Amino acid sequence: MNYFTIPEICIATENDIPAIVQLLNSAYRGEASLKGWTTEAHLIAGEVRTDENNLQEVIRKPGSVVLKYTNEKNQLIGCVNLQQQGDRLYLGMFSVSPEAQGGGIGKKILLAAEQHALNEGCRSIFMQVISVRDELIHWYIRHGYQDKGERKPFNEDGLTGKHLQPLEFMILEKYIS
């Protein structure tokens, strides 16, 4: 059952893993990501943001869902992972296909994330953003997120690519209830 008010958005299944992995990798890493404004290719080398095993773990984690956005051709062009942590919802793996960025899809996915958070009884949504990603941070601030003043190390994990400079995460949060 799809309870989202945006018909292009629903909960992904394990059958969607290959398409989601391709989307995440193309939105964040390598040459393909340079077509969009959310790339991390200038910060992290390589072509991999995630792989099928990592995404399968995320989908199977209790309290975790991946929302997918599909276009009129039924192509997956956006996604986000939401993980309930008490009365807060963690938002991660948020991406829109580089070719589709700037068309309002990200806003729709954020609205669906808020709808999911409310349905789950959460009071806020929080995320980790690489602290030097000023344009992205300002986009989230325009959508109601606030810098909590908290920073966390962003250590290389052997999967997501070599850092081209020292990186840390900034915690952003939006209260929704």
One-letter amino acid for residue 144 of the chain: G
In contact, 126 and 89? CB cutoff 8 Å:
yes
- For residue 2, the model assigns a pLDDT of 63
Region 35-52: what's the mean pLDDT?
93
Tokens 């991946």 belong to residue: 66
Report pLDDT digits (tens) over 103-113. 999 999 999 99
When the candidates are 3.40.640.10, 1.10.10.10, 3.40.630.30, 1.10.3720.10, the CATH number that belongs to 9-125 is 3.40.630.30
CA distance 42 to 127: 21
Write out the two tokens for 151. 């920073």
Residue 142 has which token pair? 């325009």
* The pLDDT of residue 5 is above 60: yes
